[in-house]
Amino acid sequence: MLKQIPLAAVHRALGAKMVDFGGWEMPLQYTGILEEHRAVRTAAGLFDVSHMGEIEIRGPEALQLVQQATTNNAAKLADGQVQYSGLLYEHGGFVDDILVHRVAADHYFLCVNASNQDKDFEHIRAQNRWNCTVENRGADYAQLAIQGPRAAEILQKLTPVALSEIRYYRFRDGEVCSRPARIARTGYTGEDGFELYLSPGDAAEVWQALLDAGREAGLRPCGLGARNTLRMEAGMALYGHEIDASITPLEAGLEWIVKWDKGDFCGRARLEKQKAEGVRRKLIGFEMRGRGIGRDGYEVRVGGQPAGWVTSGGPSPTLGKNIGMCYLPAELAQPGTAIEIVVREQPVEAVTVPLPFYRRPK
Amino acid sequence: MSYPENFRYTKEHEWILVEGDTGTVGITHHAQKELGDIVYVDLPKPGTAVEAGKAMGSVESVKAVSDIYSPVSGEVVEVNELLATAPEKLNEDPHGAAWLVKIRLANPAELDGLMSAADYQAYLGE
């Protein structure tokens, strides 16, 4: 039995194609992935990402637990600030990649991947030597993401909160459509935009109000299909693809979320060892040169020999090219390496390129 | 959606229109709709021998790759070059301009195993 997000019936009524995503019945697309992708790059898109998990950590020593469990330095956060971070196993591989929101000095709000939320919760709880309250609250929040160059202007019609005062990776608790909402200037598309944390009972009204408010500006409902092509162009990792339990942040190009000067954290010893010995494989982007599309799991060859694998791949609607990301031995994971992707037993020419593929115009 | 009466259909959502000893093969409207935006089509070259029910190529949407199965056995005699540069035509006109290949039939009796338009629509539950 698939888990239901609060708005599943609303999406079906909009004509969405629904799919099983990690155990949740989720909208893959409404009108089409390409059209939805372009709407986000040129106007705005509205995503229901209510499957995402939320974990709350409270207590006078909440910071100590967050610092122990995550790789980034949560001590640098001010109230209302958000940080991308990693949860690692002792062996250095990813439990998950997460967003840490500091609500108050004694209250942190974590947004985690849907299918990892129970595992994350247990992982954090197992490190709770500080008598913090740790709550697994995925079912208590719906999450909507409005993303794109016109997202702020559309959302502003429905909230008294001055959105221009919320900087990137900051959040405010306020109201949207007179309903309580945590409004975070974050996203997973490479565009400006907001992620809204709502009570599940308020999600349908806010969803509809946003669609109505954004119609003239070109806002479209968008599914997970466009979310994936957008994040891929932005070079963002997806758990189960670029990162998983066998991959460390140093390999995934995410050393920037590992803060060596913060003190101990779960996985640190193994990462230090890996850094000292040298990272053997690294993530890098690629563009197809020959005809064909490199996709997740396809073999990558260099000089005719197996050298790595594709983590994500597909057409880039913005660039009009077939792109992807792959792991290669560190010495080959440099832009400009001629590689081959094995597409249905046929090696097809490709070349490595730097990440990300797309950066929004400032 | 109407499915042409003069086509025969497979359970894997291909169609074939037979004229003389040659069959024109495509994918159905239902198939293109399920796939979503089609971005790449991989087809056999003219002269390739194909076998009924076996994969002869693939069609890729943004999200996924699907095999194309040959409805009949025979030899590919022509490939629709349009699809190399305009794969999106498969979304727009799957029963017409976006045909895939023409196959010279080796065993016309195989057609008896395929579905009529009415059977195919019943199979789709439409």
- Percent of chain A at pLDDT exceeding 70: 100
Q: Cβ separation of B63 and A314 shorter than 8 Å?
A: yes
Report pLDDT digits (tens) over A77-124: 999 999 999 999 999 999 999 999 999 999 999 999 999 999 999 999
Report pLDDT digits (tens) over B5-47: 999 999 999 999 999 999 999 999 999 999 999 999 999 999 9
Query: Helix, strand, or coil here: A165?
Result: helix
**pLDDT at residue A1 greater than cutoff 90:** no
Q: What fold does the segment set A53-136 form as a domain?
A: Alpha-Beta Plaits (3.30.70)
Nearest one of A6, A70, A38, A61 to A198, comparing CA atoms: A6
Q: How many CB atoms lie within 10 A of CB A145?
A: 23
Q: How many CB atoms lie within 10 A of CB A291?
A: 13
Q: How far is A229 from chain B (nearest CA, A)?
A: 8
How far CA A152 is from CA of A40, A49, A97, A159, in Å, comes to: 12, 18, 26, 10
Interface test mutation site (partner B, options A344, A346, A348, max chain B beta carbons within 10 A): A344
Is the minimum CB–CB distance between A318 and chain B shorter than 8 Å?
no
* Residue found under tokens 């479209």: A220
In angstroms, the first-to-last Cα distance of chain A is 44
Please tell me the pTM assigned to this model.
0.94
Q: Cβ separation of B62 and A28 shorter than 8 Å?
A: no
Residue A130: per-residue pLDDT: 96
In a domain, B90, yes or no: yes
Q: How far is B82 from chain A (nearest CA, A)?
A: 15
Report pLDDT digits (tens) over B45-60: 999 999 999 999 999 9
Is the minimum CB–CB distance between B40 and chain A shorter than 8 Å?
yes
* Residue found under tokens 């994350």: A120
Question: Which CATH number covers residue B53?
Answer: 2.40.50.100
Q: Which amino acid is at A75?
A: A
Report pLDDT digits (tens) over B80-99: 999 999 999 999 999 999 99
Q: Which amino acid is at A361?
A: P
Peptide bond preceding A356 in cis form (omega within 30 of 0)? yes
Q: Which amino acid is at B5?
A: E
Is the minimum CB–CB distance between B37 and chain A shorter than 8 Å?
yes
How many Å apart are CA B75 and CA B104, to the nearest integer?
Answer: 5
**pLDDT at residue A190 greater than cutoff 90:** yes
**pLDDT at residue B126 greater than cutoff 90:** no
**Buried (b) or exposed (e) across B36-49, using 16+ Cβ within 10 A?**
bbbbbbbbbeeebe
CA atoms within 13 A on the CB side of A279: 21
| Residue A2 banded pLDDT, cuts 50, 70, 90 | confident
In a domain, B98, yes or no: yes
**pLDDT at residue B105 greater than cutoff 80:** yes
Residue A34 in contact with residue A318, Cβ under 8 Å?
no
**Hey, what are A81's tokens?**
């600030």
Q: How far is A295 from chain B (nearest CA, A)?
A: 9
A239 DSSP 8-state letter: B
Q: Which of A22-26, A41-45, A176-180, A283-287 has the lowest mean pLDDT?
A: A22-26
For chain A, how are helix, strand and coil distributed in percent, rounded to 5? Answer: 25, 35, 40
Query: For A3-50+141-233, which CATH class?
Result: alpha beta
- Residues of chain B with C-beta less than 8 angstroms from the C-beta of A34: 37, 62
Residue spans of the domains in chain A: they are 3-50+141-233, 53-136
> To the nearest whole number, what is the mean pLDDT of chain A?
97
In sequence order, which residues have a C-beta less than 8 Å from that of residue A28 and are 6 or more positions away?
A16, A17, A18, A19, A21, A223, A224, A225, B36, B63
Adjacent-strand bridge partners of A346? A343
Is the minimum CB–CB distance between B86 and chain A shorter than 8 Å?
no
Is the minimum CB–CB distance between A177 and chain B shorter than 8 Å?
no
Residue B112: per-residue pLDDT: 96
Residue B1: per-residue pLDDT: 72
Report pLDDT digits (tens) over A324-339: 999 999 999 999 999 9
**pLDDT at residue A31 greater than cutoff 90:** yes
- Percent of chain B at pLDDT exceeding 70: 99
Nearest one of A150, A145, A144 to A215, comparing CA atoms: A150
Q: Exposed, middle or buried: residue B83 (CB in 10 Å: 0-12, 13-18, 19+)?
A: buried
- Mean pLDDT value of segment A302-308: 97
Number of domains in chain B: 1
* Residue found under tokens 């003190």: A263
* Domain span at B116: 8-124
- Residues of chain A with C-beta less than 8 angstroms from the C-beta of B58: 344
Nearest one of A63, A69, A102, A68 to A83, comparing CA atoms: A102
Residue A40: per-residue pLDDT: 98
In sequence order, which residues have a C-beta less than 8 Å from that of residue A5 and are 6 or more positions away?
A24, A25, A26, A48, A50, A51, A142
Q: Cβ separation of A344 and B58 shorter than 8 Å?
A: yes
How many Å apart are CA B124 and CA A361, to the nearest integer?
Answer: 46
- Residues of chain A with C-beta less than 8 angstroms from the C-beta of B40: 291-293, 315, 322
**pLDDT at residue A362 greater than cutoff 90:** no
How many Å apart are CA B33 and CA A32, to the nearest integer?
Answer: 10
| Residue B2 banded pLDDT, cuts 50, 70, 90 | confident
In a domain, B38, yes or no: yes
